[in-house]
Chain A
Amino acid sequence: MPTLPAVRSCPFAPPDEYLRLRDAGRAVRVRMPTGSTAWALTRHADVRAVLGDPRFSSDRRLPQYPFFAPTQPSAHAPARISLIGMDPPEHSRARRAVVGEFTVKRLEALQPRVQQIVDEHVDRMLAGPRPVDLVEALALPVPSMVICELLGVPYADHDFFQTRSGLLLSRVPTVEERNQARGELWGYLGRLIDAKAAAEDPGDDLMGRQIARQKAESGGVDREALIALGFLLLVAGHETTANMISLGVMALLSRPDQLAALRADPSRTPAAVEEMLRIFTIAEFVNARVATEDVELAGVLIREGEGVVALSSVADHDPEVFPEPAALDFDRGARHHLAFGFGIHQCLGQNLARQELRTVFDTLIRRVPGLRLAVDPDELPYKDDAHVYGLHELPVTWD
């Protein structure tokens, strides 16, 4: 039986083992690193179907929940689960309480600040030595600063979050290291929320507004729920966008025709962002579910209690939906990709991610026209050891 997860041999395509799973059938039994078995789904239509089906649960406490790492068993999950581990109706209430923070209009109002943050980092990069690691100079600090400001978490502590967040999304650490990182972040957020809750004005930021809202509704603050929410947004806000920025810049620098197309017509950047999200589809470990009843799907009978992994990276390379899927093509109109998932758990921060990606690509193209890779593309260190695909480093220089 094939074992998940596998690593990519090419950054522009899913792991070869996953492509073989696709060839083996619509639903294939696989073994997870914890030793449990699950159904792996690979077709775009099947992945959409399972993620949009209320008969599949996201509850990580269920015995057959298919974890992607041996050190991620349910016993080590936080006491309070976050949005991504909830089912309706609990999930619907919790998501609705926060989703107003991420509306398209709210993010448009945030755009000047995002542009300012990107410009400040590009200024600093251009004033510094070259070559420079674009991950350190731009890809990581931009989303880090944006999510800190949005949440109301002091950016001065960013080294602390980045290291813990990186540990939690890596497949390398031991159970103890992972638990320690989780515990430290949990404790930090608890102290932050206590301080905000005790203050007369909890602050005009996401956490402050959640605290004010809870106090107005119930007179108290659900401390554990707020920690779980802050934890999810902080961890998800760090690695995902950062890795998409570095992979996207790598893609532009190694595909001169596509870079030239964007330079000639910046209005195409939103379409370019969708295509990059599709081709890389960097985070699929969250697309694991457990059937809560017998369901016929993808041509098989999935029994109650069985685990399912929806391989979105393969679905986003389904040749019937995206012809020549490994070709980066900004004109293909890739908006129906599954890089942010599908169904009720589709990424809460997806439009913030789009905005940051668009702003970074536009700004680099405009302000650093001579940007190029400082090493041979084959030497780039990819994250084959993490839940979220990306680059450890991206050495760049400019003329």
Chain B
Amino acid sequence: MRLIADTSRCVGAGQCVLTDPDLFDQDEEDGTVLVLDGEPAGERLEHAHEAVRLCPGQALSLAE
């Protein structure tokens, strides 16, 4: 699964970083999401699903 972030939709709420700081970070300037692992697996993939569900800007998605 590929983890995709649309930074134009990101509102910098940081819910993804709180879900898994190894998988996500935020740009220091504008707070937008930085994906640290674009093809998460195992527990990290579960965290990615959770982050997609929590993202208020609906900026995250998972694709085959």
Contact = CB atoms under 8 A, between A and B. Distances in A.
Interface residues of B, number: 22
A182 B19 CA distance: 38
A104 B14 contact: yes
Contacts of B18: 104, 351
B29 A351 contact: no
Nearest to B12: A99
B29 A100 contact: yes
Nearest to B27: A100
Q: Which of B32, B56, B58 has the most CB of A within 10 A?
A: B56
Contacts, number: 63
A343 B26 CA distance: 18
B13 interface: yes
B11 interface: yes
A307 interface: no
A103 interface: yes
Contacts of A343: 56-57
A336 interface: yes
B53 to A, nearest CB: 6
Given A95-B12, A104-B18, A336 B53 contact: yes
A96 B32 CA distance: 8
A366 interface: no
Consensus secondary structure, chain A interface: helix
Interface in B37-52: 50
B62 interface: no
A149 B56 CA distance: 28
A103 B57 CA distance: 15
A99 B56 contact: no
Contact of B31 (A99, A336, A342, A347): A99
A115 interface: no
A99 B30 contact: yes
Interface in B18-37: 18, 21, 25-32
A350 interface: yes
Contacts of A364: none
B32 to A, nearest CB: 7
Contacts of B15: 335
B17 interface: yes
A336 B18 CA distance: 13
8 contacts: A96-B32, A99-B12, A102-B12, A103-B31, A104-B14, A104-B18, A105-B26, A341-B56
Given A102-B12, A346-B11, 5 more contacts: A100-B12, A103-B31, A335-B15, A342-B56, A346-B56
